[in-house]
């Protein structure tokens, strides 16, 4: 089963608006990562936030992590049509079988010009 659950499943906004996507997870994690995927293509790593970090910025991206609530959010400011893609969170946790990365189901973001 998917550990990360994104919310919302789909988001449609106008260019220039901000987009916020949320991710919840269930077990303890070492880090959480956000990826973007354009339709049918490979994933692109956006940002990694470690479990001892609360907030991280990269360009127009802002990620927060609340380990007490087991949740993270990805904010894209001043969105552009080129931001249209699916966004996935992925959590890294250590299990008896080793370290593993678990992806959520993704949020489909559509930015309308």
Partner 1 sequence: DSGVTQTPKHLITATGQRVTLRCSPRSGDLSVYWYQQSLDQGLQFLIHYYNGEERAKGNILERFSAQQFPDLHSELNLSSLELGDSALYFCASSPQGSWAFDEQFFGPGTRLTVL
Judged by CB under 8 A, the chain residues 82 through 111 that form the site for partner 1 are: 88, 90, 92, 94, 97-106
Distance, CA of 79 to CA of 101 (rounded, Å): 28
Q: Judged by CB under 8 A, how many residues of this single chain contact partner 1?
A: 26
**For residues 49 and 56, is the Cβ–Cβ distance under 8 A?**
yes
Q: Under the criterion CB under 8 A, does residue 59 sit at the interface with partner 1?
A: no
Nearer to partner 1, 9 or 12 (CB): 9
Torsion angles phi and psi, residue 82, rounded to 5: -70, -10
Q: What's the rounded Cα separation, in Å, for the pair 41 and 57?
A: 25
Q: Which stretch, 20-28, 41-49, 54-62, 76-84, contacts partner 1 (CB under 8 A)?
A: 41-49
Contact (Cβ atoms closer than 8 angstroms) between residue 72 and residue 66: yes
Instruction: Select 39 or 68, whichever has its Cβ closest to partner 1.
Output: 39
- Length of the chain, please? 113
How far apart are CB 42 and partner 1 at their closest, in Å? Answer: 4
Residues that bind partner 1 (CB under 8 A): 2, 30-31, 33, 35, 40-45, 48, 88, 90, 92, 94, 97-106
């Amino acid at each position: 089963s998917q550990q990360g659950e994104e919310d919302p499943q789909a988001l449609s906004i106008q260019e220039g608006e901000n987009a916020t996507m949320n991710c919840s997870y269930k077990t303890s994690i070492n880090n959480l990562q956000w990826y973007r995927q354009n339709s049918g293509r490979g994933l692109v790593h956006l940002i990694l936030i470690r479990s001892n970090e609360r907030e991280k910025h990269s360009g127009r991206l802002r990620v927060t992590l609340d380990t007490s609530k087991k949740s993270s959010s990805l904010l894209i400011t001043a969105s552009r049509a080129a931001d249209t893609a699916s966004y996935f969170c992925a959590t890294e946790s250590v299990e008896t079988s080793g370290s593993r990365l678990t992806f959520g189901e993704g949020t489909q973001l559509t930015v309308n010009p």
